[in-house]
Structure formats: C-alpha cells, structure tokens
Amino acid sequence: MIQRHSGPRRPSLVASDGLRAEPPVQKRPEIPRPTFHDMTSRLSTIERAPVFFTFPEDALRAIARRVRRVRIPAGEMVLCQGEVGDTIFFIERGRCRLVVEKPPSIVTVAVLSEGDFFGEGACVLGRSQQASVYAQTECYLLALDRQSLHAVMAGREGDGMDELRRLAEQRFSLFADISVQATWGQLLQEATVIGVYSPKGGSGGTCISLNLVGALARRYPGEVLLLDLDFPYSHSALLAGLVPTSCLARIASVPQESFEDVLLSTVLYDSGGPMILPGALRPEEADEVTPELLNKAIAALRKTFRYIVVDLGVTITDSTLALFDLTQHVVLIAAPELSAVKSAADAVDILSRLGTPHDRLTVVLNHRSEKPAVSKSAVERALKRNVDLEIAFDGIRPEQAAVDGAILSITNPKSEIAQGAEALAAMLDAKHARSRNPVESSSVSGGIAEHVVQPS
Amino acid sequence: MLAPVAAIQRARDGVRRAAVRRRLEAVASGKATSTSGTFDEPGVDVAGVIEEITVGLKTDSLPMERLVVALTNSGAVDRMIEGLEAKSAHHRSAGARAIGALRIYEAVPSVAPLLASRERPVSDAAARALGRIGGAHSAGALLFALQRRGISRRLVAELARGAPDLFIEAALAQPQKPGARPALALAAGLRRRRTATSQLTALVRGGSRRERVISCRALGWIGATTAIPAITEALYDREWKLRVSAAKALGALRARDSRHEIHYLLADRNPRVRAAARQALRQIEAG
C-alpha cells in the first residue's frame, strides 16, 4: 500500500525537445527567473516567516523562485472572510490588519508586518478564510499558491508541512477565541468603552470628554460614566463641580469579592445625569492604576453602564495601552496648532499600528482660538485622513463653566462645545447604539408585550 | 442498427473500459498499487475513465495521490506527456485531459503550448486541464492565451476556475492588451471574489466601453454593494449596452436606493434598456 507521506510522489517532468512532432504555433515566453537581488529579497522574507525558517535551504529557494510579488495599495482588501482561498501571503513590506467580522462588531485579531504571513488556513487546511485582511499601509506581498507549495514540498512532508498545518490550526483557534472574547461584551449587551485621547496638553481633551459624557447622559441618564485617567492631575470631577473622596487607585487592594461594590461606591453622581470615576486624586497615586486593575475595573463597570468614556490624557503609559485594547472606539482630539497637529499625526500612526480600525477612530478638531494658525485642510493633510468633527471656538464659555462647576452640554446646549459634543455623541451612538433591554425594543415595535422602560 | 461486427467490437471495448476502470478504482481505494499497461489499452478512452474517477477528488487527497504515484511508476504519465506532442489531435487532447484530471502541476509547461493549437478540441482540452490544475503558472499560461486571442469563453471560464488568490486582481491592475482586460473583468466576475471590487469599480468609472459593460455585470455577480454609486452613475451613459448592464447589476445587487434612477430608464428610447430596467425593478421589489 502506498504511504501518503513517503516515497517519490509527483513525477519530475522535463520536456524533451527532440520528441516534438511539430513545434507549437506560438510558444509562450518563459516566466522570467528572478534576478539575484530579487531572489535575495524574496529569500530573506520567507526565511523570516514562522515555520518556514525550518524548511531546508533548497525548499526555500524553490519557494522563492515560485512566489509572485503583489503590490497592494493602503486600505485595499487582500482577502475576504468566508471566501475560499489557496494562497499563503508573506508580507515583504508594509502592514496588514486581520479582522473578523461578527455583526454587529468588527474585531481586529492581528496586525501583521514584515516577515509574517497569512492565508495559511485556507491554503493548507482547505477552510474558508477565517478573517478579512486589509492593507494598513502600502504592502508588497509574496504570494505562494497551494500548487506551488505542494510541488516544492512533494516527497518531504516531514520537513515542515506538519508544522505548518499545526500552526494554521493554532492560529485558527486563537483568532476564533480573540473574536469571541472581543464580542462577548456586545453579545451580553455590556457597555461600549470610548477612549478620548488628546496627544497634546491644552487641546481640550478633558473638556470634550466631560461634555461628551453630558451629551450621552442626556440620552441615557444614569447609564454613562466618565473614567478620568488624565494623570498625574485628574480634574474632571473638579470641572463638573464635584468633590471626590476616593478614586480607582485607592481601591486597588480591595479583595475581589467586594471589589465591584467598592468600585461603584467610588463613582460620583452629577445631578445632570453623568457619573465620574476619578483615576487618582494625587499625582503619586497614578502608579497604582495598573493595567490589571484597569482590566478588572472595566470588566466590572461594563456590566453596569451603557457607555464608559475614558479620558486618557496626554501620556501613553502601560495603562493607556491596556485601555486602547479595551476600547471599542477612540476619539482623538487635535487642536489647530503646529505642535498639536504633529502630535496628532504621530498618534494616528501609533493607533493604526496598535490595530485600531479606521472606522473606529474619530478625529475631532477643537478650535481653541478665534483665528486658528493651521487650517482644517492642512490638518487633514498632516493626519492623512479626514477630520470627522470640527468644534468651533466657544469664547470664554468653557472656562466660565469650569469656574461654575457646570457641564455645558447639560446647562447650555446652544454653546459651540455643547453642539460639538452632541454631534460626537450622535456619531458614536449611531455606530454603537443597541437596545439594552429586550423590553425596550418591544416597546418600539408595539404589540401585546408593550412595556415602556422608564429611565431611572 | 449496428452491424454484428461493430456491435461485438463495441462490446469488447466496453469490457476493456470496465476493466481499466476497475483497476484504477482499486488503485485509488488502496487495494492495488500498480496499473501497468493501463494507458495503452486499444479502443479505450483512458483519459475519460481517469476523469470519471477523479471527479470530486481534491488534489491533495489520498486517492488522488495513489493514482498519480501508480500511473507515474507505470510510466503512464510519461506517455501522457509524450502524447501532448503527438501529431494526432486525439492523442494530444487525451493527454491533456488525463493530465488535467490528475492535476499534475509539473506538466503545466508541456500543456501550455497546446493553448495555441488550431484544433479546437486540443486547445479546449488544454484550457480545461490548466483550469483544473490551477496555480500561478497555469493561470499565467491562460492569461497569455487570452492576451493573444481576446475573450474566449473557455479560456475565461478556466482562468476564473484556476487562478490563485489575487492573480486576476493583480493582472487587472497592470497594463494589458486591449482584449485582455475585458476578459479579466469577466473572469473576476465569474470568480465572485470581493477582493476584485475596487479594480472593477475603477474600470466602471474609467475603462473602455467594453470594459465598463463587463465590469458592471461582474460587480453585480460578485454582490459588491460598495460599487452601487459607480454603477448608478453608469445608468446615465450614452451607450445603451452600459445602461442595460448597469440596470442588470443594480437588480442583482437589490439596490433599493437606486430605484428612482432605474425607474427613469423605463422611458429609455432603447427597448432592451427598458426591459432590463423593468426586470431590475422587479428584482429589487422582490428583495
């Protein structure tokens, strides 16, 4: 009986010119062999790839000869989830984002760069594409189709094909787990976490966070929380006219069983609807807010609220990075000043490297002066993307509101800041809105079980 | 009615064919390991038998591997390759069919020249073989033939079947001979891969008349809803074929937002455009 993984398998066929009865009418030109430098470049990409670096030298050379180079412009789709596929793509240059679309959410499961590869699940395991792949930047990919892979690996199954299959299985499970974990909050109808990041101090990040929470709280009273992580000095409570007595940092050592109760008792309630949880009251307490504590706190808060807006401040720390992983949406605040625009451009780049999907990032241009030094079009050119929302100069109203301890989106809805916050809330709500309670949705459609939920 | 001698001969051929089939099936199922002399049976279409046995088998499946190994060891595969260069068109097409059925990727350079054959059965058999084998080299050969011959239904269908991921999309993005790009757009539509959407949309907006007509239909087949604005714009084109194609595509896409624009075509001066618009509106209403 023939063993599947042993012995000579596919014939090596060499066309013999002497046997030709008649020359073909028009011979297809030979596929050009890669040049020395091209081969070197291909080899160095394939050699870096996981599993492939274990392949024997001659197999790698054969693969390098057979791959074809494909250029993908930034933003283009490379593979589509659910479709069949037969090719492994090595990333020679650029970055690709793998997303699993599980309506209503889109989960980024990986961001791959030079030396990585994707498409192995469809190519090696014969499954449909598990994730859609988009080029984040302009990419040069080396495409290795199934036929070429089999032709090269024929007769040497033990040399790495099993490893490749194992890796494909492993990645398949990993991506499935990640996508499920990322969507479980939505499936369980838990809070949407929105990070507000302002890469330059004085851009109005805290002011916009506070007013955004106010605007959302007008829609969903008692269901919106502002988590203030603008370290080292957290001023959200002060700006809202509230006096904090505790903070997230101070409950770090609370035992697990009572953590949720203590956490909720730390939340400050504003009469207008929004709630505020200070991260730290003193600068030295900021170090107590660790990524682990944040994970624990967000997990607990998501069960209670509809929206959690996190004021991320200016600095990027471990806690900020941990929060970026937990957010479903990021709002980036830019001011029309040279240094602020430069910082915002860097921040957009960092966020895209972290795998924040393009549609889950909203750029807000906040005018802090009557005559901006940098125009909107110049900001857009620097950011290489459109500004989603522009907030006009609002005079001294924000400063006056801070002195009065008022939130403009609640007390003065006609002010520019309030209108901007309202527009931002509408954008976010359109993207992340959901019916929290099945009874609520039945009240919309009417029918026998018509119950209207009164806001608490 | 058949003459007695012819009937007897036919019966003999049938018996031989059945014997060949049993032998090959035994190999595929692992009950036998050798198939010596199988390819030389007189009066038996062995390529047809191989095609029947391998229908539905995957390239890397165990029965396929067994067949390839047994036929290679018996020298049958070498004779198939030699058959590709025979004078007889029958032998050449039989060799191509058998190689295609066995998905022998290494034989692509030998099969590819047959695409240029003047005998239709030979070039068709070669195209089918390359489509079945698949891979970049097969697709490259089919693309080269398309560039030479322009749109040929067989070549387009086989390119759609055999091209690896992003092959057609990459080819659409490169400079092509005038006849090749419509053929590629057609192949992209037949493949129904959403990765071709942006290239086809670009063709709808800026291609030649023929390219625009074909790209519209292709986008409809793919179900590319993101291309609806571009297709809707094409409804106002002066070229009636493009208007027909755009209406059909929007119908296939169930583009509810374009109903008013399609409705406008019900008063078109061309009866085919009106018919296409009516059909599209029916599809959209049916949801």
Question: What pLDDT does residue B281 have?
Answer: 95
Spatial CB neighbours of A260, under 8 Å, sequence gap ≥ 6: A300
CB contact under 8 A, B165 and A145: yes
At A282, is the pLDDT very low, low, confident or very high (cuts 50, 70, 90)? confident
Q: Which of B107, B173, B194 sits opposite A77 (nearest CB)?
A: B194
Least reliable range by pLDDT among A174-183, B157-166, B262-271: A174-183
- The answer to whether A305 and A171 have CB atoms below 8 angstroms apart is no
Question: What pLDDT does residue A183 have?
Answer: 62
Query: Measured in whole angstroms, how far is the alpha carbon of residue B270 from the centre of its chain?
Result: 33
Q: Which of B59, B104, B166 sits opposite A87 (nearest CB)?
A: B166
- Nearest Cα neighbor of A385 from A366, A363, A367 is A363
Question: What pLDDT does residue B242 have?
Answer: 95
Q: Are residues A177 and A196 in the same domain?
A: no
At B75, is the pLDDT very low, low, confident or very high (cuts 50, 70, 90)? confident
Question: What pLDDT does residue A159 have?
Answer: 63
- The answer to whether A325 and A318 have CB atoms below 8 angstroms apart is no
Q: CB distance from B82 to chain A under 8 Å?
A: yes
CB contact under 8 A, B164 and A27: no
**In this structure, is residue A24 part of a structural domain?**
no
Distances (CA, A) of A124 to A84, A129, A148: 12, 11, 12
Q: CB distance from B106 to chain A under 8 Å?
A: yes
**In this structure, is residue A48 part of a structural domain?**
yes
The bridge status of strand A96-102 relative to strand A268-269 is: unpaired
Name chain A contacts of B102, Cβ cutoff 8 Å: none
Across residues A4-12, what is the average pLDDT?
39
Location of structure tokens 């900020």: A320
Q: What is the nearest CA distance from A160 to chain B, expressed in angstroms? A: 16
- Nearest Cα neighbor of B78 from B43, B42, B107 is B107
**In this structure, is residue A7 part of a structural domain?**
no
Name chain A contacts of B135, Cβ cutoff 8 Å: 145-148
- Of B127 and A99, more confident: B127
In this structure, what CATH number is given to the domain that contains residue A175? 2.60.120.10
**Beta-bridge mates of residue A366:** A391
- Nearest Cα neighbor of B60 from B112, B135, B124 is B135
pTM of the model: 0.67
What's the pLDDT tens digit per position in A36-87?
888 999 999 999 888 888 888 889 999 999 999 999 998 899 999 999 999 9
Q: Are residues A170 and A214 in the same domain?
A: no
CB contact under 8 A, A143 and B144: no
Across residues B233-244, what is the average pLDDT?
94
Across residues A362-367, what is the average pLDDT?
90
Question: What pLDDT does residue A223 have?
Answer: 84
Tell me how far apart the alpha carbons of residues B215 and A47 are, in angstroms, rounded to a whole number: 39
Tell me how far apart the alpha carbons of residues B254 and B241 are, in angstroms, rounded to a whole number: 20
Question: What pLDDT does residue B14 have?
Answer: 86
CB contact under 8 A, A145 and B134: yes
The domain total for chain A is 2
**Beta-bridge mates of residue A278:** A228
Q: Are residues A155 and A219 in the same domain?
A: no
At A30, is the pLDDT very low, low, confident or very high (cuts 50, 70, 90)? low
| N- to C-terminal Cα separation, chain A | 75
Q: Are residues A252 and A301 in the same domain?
A: yes
Q: Are residues A146 and A197 in the same domain?
A: no
DSSP character string of A373-415: SS-HHHHHHHHTS---EEE---TTHHHHHHHHT--HHHH-TTS
Q: Mean pLDDT score of chain A, rounded to an integer?
A: 79
Indicate whether B275 pLDDT > 80. yes
Question: What pLDDT does residue A439 have?
Answer: 32
CA-nearest residue to B198 within chain A is A76
**In this structure, is residue A223 part of a structural domain?**
yes
CA angle B176, B177, B180 (to 5 degrees): 80
- Of A9 and B187, more confident: B187
Q: Are residues A140 and A277 in the same domain?
A: no
What's the pLDDT tens digit per position in A139-168?
999 999 999 998 888 777 666 788 888 889
Domain final position from A147, A181, A215: A181
Q: Are residues A434 and A315 in the same domain?
A: yes
Indicate whether A249 pLDDT > 90. no
Domain final position from A147, A162, A181: A181
Q: Where are the beta strands (DSSP E) in A172-274?
A: 192-197, 224-228, 268-269
Q: Are residues A122 and A167 in the same domain?
A: yes
Q: CB distance from B77 to chain A under 8 Å?
A: yes
Least reliable range by pLDDT among A63-72, A190-199, B217-226, B264-273: A190-199
- The answer to whether A142 and A86 have CB atoms below 8 angstroms apart is no
Across residues A421-429, what is the average pLDDT?
89
Count of C-beta atoms within a 10 Å radius of residue A111: 17
Q: CB distance from B57 to chain A under 8 Å?
A: no
Indicate whether A437 pLDDT > 80. no
Domain final position from A123, A156, A181: A181
Strand order in the sheet with A96-102: A77-79, A132-135, A96-102, A105-112
Question: What pLDDT does residue A18 have?
Answer: 35
Q: CB distance from B116 to chain A under 8 Å?
A: yes
Question: What pLDDT does residue A73 have?
Answer: 92
Count of C-beta atoms within a 10 Å radius of residue A370: 8
Name chain A contacts of B168, Cβ cutoff 8 Å: none
DSSP designation for A19: G
Q: Which of B106, B134, B137 sits opposite A13 (nearest CB)?
A: B106
CB contact under 8 A, B107 and A13: yes
- Nearest Cα neighbor of A195 from A340, A343, A298, A300 is A298
**Phi and psi at residue A236, to the nearest 5°:** -60, -45
Q: Are residues A119 and A144 in the same domain?
A: yes
Question: What pLDDT does residue B209 have?
Answer: 93
**In this structure, is residue A262 part of a structural domain?**
yes
At A202, is the pLDDT very low, low, confident or very high (cuts 50, 70, 90)? confident
Tell me how far apart the alpha carbons of residues A216 and A194 are, in angstroms, rounded to a whole number: 12
Name chain B contacts of A118, Cβ cutoff 8 Å: none
**In this structure, is residue A17 part of a structural domain?**
no
R_g over Cα of chain B? 24
DSSP character string of A91-109: EEES-EEEEEEETTEEEEE
Q: Mean pLDDT score of chain B, rounded to an integer?
A: 90
What is the domain extent for residue A282? 192-445
CB contact under 8 A, A19 and B85: yes
**In this structure, is residue A288 part of a structural domain?**
yes
ipTM: 0.89
CB contact under 8 A, A147 and B112: no
- Nearest Cα neighbor of A75 from B27, B226, B139, B280 is B226
Q: Are residues A168 and A199 in the same domain?
A: no
Q: Which of A24, A66, A78 sits opposite B195 (nearest CB)?
A: A78
Torsion of CA A169, A170, A175, A176, to 10 degrees: 60
Count of C-beta atoms within a 10 Å radius of residue B115: 30
Q: Are residues A163 and A243 in the same domain?
A: no
Q: Which of B133, B137, B164 sits opposite A143 (nearest CB)?
A: B164
Tell me how far apart the alpha carbons of residues A110 and B44 are, in angstroms, rounded to a whole number: 55
Question: What pLDDT does residue A188 have?
Answer: 60
Name chain B contacts of A99, Cβ cutoff 8 Å: none
Tell me how far apart the alpha carbons of residues A101 and B122 are, in angstroms, rounded to a whole number: 45
At B158, is the pLDDT very low, low, confident or very high (cuts 50, 70, 90)? very high
Q: Which of B68, B81, B113 sits opposite A9 (nearest CB)?
A: B68
**Phi and psi at residue B116, to the nearest 5°:** -90, 5
Least reliable range by pLDDT among A215-224, A228-237, A331-340, B73-82: A228-237
Q: CB distance from B203 to chain A under 8 Å?
A: no
Question: What pLDDT does residue B38 have?
Answer: 60
Q: What is the nearest CA distance from A247 to chain B, expressed in angstroms? A: 47
Q: What is the nearest CA distance from B7 to chain A, expressed in angstroms? A: 35
Indicate whether A104 pLDDT > 70. no
Question: What pLDDT does residue B214 have?
Answer: 96
Least reliable range by pLDDT among A83-92, A95-104, B157-166, B220-229: A95-104
CB contact under 8 A, B194 and A86: no
Question: What pLDDT does residue A32 have?
Answer: 65
What's the 3-state SS for chain B?
Answer: CCCHHHHHHHHHHHHHHHHHHHHHHHHHHCCCCCCCCHHHCCCCCHHHHHHHHHCCCCCCCHHHHHHHHHHHHCCHHHHHHHHCCCCCHHHHHHHHHHHHHHCCHHHHHHHHHHHHCCCHHHHHHHHHHHHHHCCHHHHHHHHHHHHHHCCCHHHHHHHHHHCCCCHHHHHHHCCCCCCHHHHHHHHHHHHCCHHHHHHHHHHHHHCCHHHHHHHHHHHHHHCCHHHHHHHHHHCCCCCHHHHHHHHHHHHHCCCHHHHHHHHHHHHCCCHHHHHHHHHHHHHHHHC
Residue A78 three-state SS: strand
Across residues A99-105, what is the average pLDDT?
75
Least reliable range by pLDDT among A201-205, A322-326, A400-404, A450-454: A450-454
In this structure, what CATH number is given to the domain that contains residue A258? 3.40.50.300
- The answer to whether A309 and A226 have CB atoms below 8 angstroms apart is yes
Distances (CA, A) of A253 to A256, A262, A318: 9, 11, 19
**In this structure, is residue A23 part of a structural domain?**
no
Q: Are residues A111 and A219 in the same domain?
A: no
Question: What pLDDT does residue B39 have?
Answer: 64
CA angle A64, A70, A71 (to 5 degrees): 135
CB contact under 8 A, A19 and B82: yes
Q: CB distance from B24 to chain A under 8 Å?
A: no
Question: What pLDDT does residue A186 have?
Answer: 57
Q: Where are the beta strands (DSSP E) in A58-174?
A: 68-72, 77-79, 87-93, 96-102, 105-112, 117-118, 132-135, 139-145
Indicate whether A23 pLDDT > 50. no
Question: What pLDDT does residue A321 have?
Answer: 80
